[in-house]
Chains A and B, each alone.
Chain A
């Protein structure tokens, strides 16, 4: 580790572990920060980063290990105590009370007003009224107010979680400058970001978590990105893949695409996404958390309207007002959270049958025999364990997920949107789901497959589009999609020079 010899770090966390039931979220996490340092806290999805942050900020108690600030054990039991001990977090979603005005929010958190005003204008918001209701301010402003509120309390340690995510460029610059000033004046900063360009510009060191263990702590220098990605994956990096031009990739295999997406955006998270999805193809979507994938799938499934761009289905422009429109057009979503898709208290058969019956004109007697046949076909095809079929709630997670897919197979699927379908599912069931997806594709279905597990691109997809910051930054063939390539792309490292990553 880099700074073993420094006398008294401001923040010293070591040996931190935390388990939730049988799941080990953290084994041995540690973090040391000296005065004036900015340290990036890095980790891939599921590495334990958010659990570690919650322990540092007092939202969770560790099972073992200690967190010391200025040498004192912080027995943090709540965010207000962490605040008193000198660590102030700024979370991704603003922690301001929507129905109160700015002044009341300051009073509530015991924030001094004058320093707050100072920081707000320093951060580039000129005309803030203290009697403005929080709920009526735009998200970017709220994030700035949250940061200003944290700065006004003059914390020893500032924790910034994706601070620049929702900000326009001019505010980002201001924020980075202010954070740098904070470090210069002797505070410690924990900086969490998906943007390597900011980390390279701002941070002194990067501390990397993998599988709940702090596996590395390295100074930021030239080409440190590759080292960090290596540490996050626990594997050596192959030499850089040569990139082709994105536009050419997008238009890949011939014939008419089933789903043609052009310049799709939602005005916030999702910027400008274009790709083609062909019948018989499984197209992977890869992205870090919050890069616009949720919005993309929601728009395609008719859950929310697009603010920009358009998409076509079988060459016809499509606009969905609600999910029923999407289903009628043959586009169906298997959402990431199974609880959102299933009727947990009802039987397997009923769950599978509902989409068959959902349209209003099907009201009236249910053609029982035909329905039973189709449902049983689907159950058999998916090898769903039916011993506990009375209530879907009692099935294992894997079998529940199979039910969510089975219902659309029973209906006959043309375009299937799978959002992280194998999350928290055992390996055998995962294999069955991959095989099933491939089967469906072979029968002419088009499948869009978002996954948070990089190796699934090779196992289940033909190609993968990588999105970063709401845009497609790369399109990679499954054959070439090793973890390192995908990870680099997911962090925006293969992007063209316009994001100005110092090489």
Chain B
């Protein structure tokens, strides 16, 4: 028990922080209720996917600066293809876009492995490449999203046969996020691929000597990042009903979420839950500051300060725990 606590201390701490923030939000804004929770959750959705995508490559010892651009490419591709398409065709589009994300990520990884150019340079270049591609696909916001896909992330959860009161407090978008990320990450986490991703991030040389195929694992990590970015792009299209070719502010937010979420830059440590909770916290802080009518410019200063202070406190606590 103490072991579980100490190993997941960071995540538990973040969850507690999130709970306190929710209570605080309720205090300053008594009307904050189900609809508030629902819109918060929907707003967080693309951030959460971007953060999960970034977390995977950071755990593998890399970084991917093209996350937001890949989200834009997948968002506009989905919106364009769904325009005028039927429900069944829309499902086909979703599968196609997910594969597209996987392929874009794999290309990022393959370029890093083959060219031996540092990951930060390769993915910075790809940020521009994917940005251009997104504008070529759709040069202004447009397209459409199938109605049933929108319905998946709007409103509270309803299960036939169960009274609404028991499930409606849980936003559908939260459930959607948990199911999708769980379905992608949990099988990987429990496989040799997952171990290998942690291994190359922790010590690439030792991993090589242990027989881990380092290059292939790295490509796989970037491919998973691409897949999760595609989920983020899709969620954008679902929630707004259109495709947006200009990348949103997801890149830096995802790095912030990863750092605050207990994933060590450099790799090998952390998981996906921490970064996702962290990015929710960052969005909620922003919401609260808006509710308090704080100057938006001051808001970013406060966000930055929170990040440094939390990461520093975490480092101090970890150092204390070791002695």
Contact = CB atoms under 8 A, between A and B. Distances in A.
Contact of B211 (A91, A110, A131): A110
A115 to B, nearest CB: 17
A65 interface: no
Interface stretch (B8-16, B129-137, B195-203, B287-295): B195-203
Given A79-B211, A80-B213, A83-B211, A95 B206 contact: yes
B195 A107 contact: yes
Given A107-B192, A108-B192, A97 B208 contact: no
Interface stretch (A98-106, A286-294, A324-332): A98-106
A95 B195 contact: no
Contacts of B209: 59, 79, 89, 91, 95
Contact of A109 (B3, B198, B210, B213): B210
A97 B199 contact: yes
A13 interface: no
B283 interface: no
A108 B269 contact: no
A296 to B, nearest CB: 26
B207 interface: yes
B202 A98 contact: yes
A108 B201 contact: no
A109 B211 contact: yes
A46 interface: no
A95 B210 contact: yes
A91 to B, nearest CB: 7
Nearest to A105: B210
B170 to A, nearest CB: 34
B268 interface: yes
A100 B210 CA distance: 13
Please report whether the interface of chain B is mostly helix, strand, loop or mixed according to DSSP: helix
B102 to A, nearest CB: 24
Interface string B1-23: 00100000000000000000000
A110 B195 CA distance: 12
A226 to B, nearest CB: 36
Contact of B198 (A78, A83, A96, A100): A100
B195 A98 contact: no
B212 interface: yes
A290 B212 CA distance: 28
Contact of A97 (B3, B192, B207, B213): B207
B240 interface: no
A97 B210 contact: yes
A99 B201 contact: yes
Contact of A99 (B198, B208, B212): B198
B211 A97 contact: no
A281 to B, nearest CB: 41
Given A107-B195, A108-B195, A109-B211, A97 B206 contact: yes
A94 interface: yes
A108 B269 CA distance: 16
Q: Which of B195, B211, B212 has the most CB of A within 10 A?
A: B211
A99 B268 contact: yes
B3 to A, nearest CB: 8
A351 B242 CA distance: 58
Given A98-B202, A100-B199, A108 B212 contact: yes
Q: Which of A79, A96, A104, A108 has the most CB of B within 10 A?
A: A108
B180 to A, nearest CB: 26
Contacts of B203: 97-99
A231 B203 CA distance: 38
A110 B269 CA distance: 22
Contact of B202 (A100, A109, A110, A131): A100
B208 A100 contact: no
A109 B207 CA distance: 9
A94 B196 CA distance: 17
Nearest to B209: A95
A94 B198 CA distance: 17
Given A104-B195, A108-B192, A108-B195, A98 B268 contact: yes
Interface in A107-131: 107-110, 131
Interface string A49-92: 00000000001000000000000000000111001000001010
B205 interface: yes
Contact of B208 (A78, A105, A107, A110): A78
B202 A99 contact: yes
A99 B196 contact: no
Nearest to A96: B206
A100 to B, nearest CB: 6
A80 B211 contact: yes
A96 to B, nearest CB: 6
A96 B202 CA distance: 10
A109 B211 CA distance: 6
Contacts of A78: 208, 211, 213
Nearest to B191: A107
Q: Which of B198, B201, B202, B206 has the most CB of A within 10 A?
A: B206
B208 to A, nearest CB: 6
Q: Which of B195, B199, B201 has the most CB of A within 10 A?
A: B199
Contacts of A107: 192, 195
B261 to A, nearest CB: 16
A89 B210 CA distance: 10
B312 to A, nearest CB: 21
Q: Which of B198, B203, B208 has the most CB of A within 10 A?
A: B203
Interface in B170-214: 192, 195-196, 198-199, 201-203, 205-213
A80 B214 CA distance: 11
A108 B213 contact: no
B205 A95 contact: yes
Contact of B210 (A59, A99, A108): A108
A107 B211 CA distance: 11
A148 to B, nearest CB: 14
Nearest to B207: A97
A107 to B, nearest CB: 6
Interface in B193-248: 195-196, 198-199, 201-203, 205-213
A94 B201 CA distance: 16
Interface of A: 59, 78-80, 83, 89, 91, 94-100, 104-105, 107-110, 131
Given A95-B210, A97-B206, A98-B206, 9 more contacts: A95-B205, A96-B206, A98-B202, A99-B268, A100-B195, A108-B207, A108-B211, A108-B212, A109-B210
Interface of B: 3, 192, 195-196, 198-199, 201-203, 205-213, 268-269
11 contacts: A79-B208, A91-B209, A95-B205, A95-B206, A96-B210, A97-B206, A98-B202, A100-B199, A100-B202, A104-B195, A108-B212
6 closest Cβ contacts across the A-B interface?
A80-B211, A95-B209, A99-B268, A99-B202, A95-B206, A109-B210
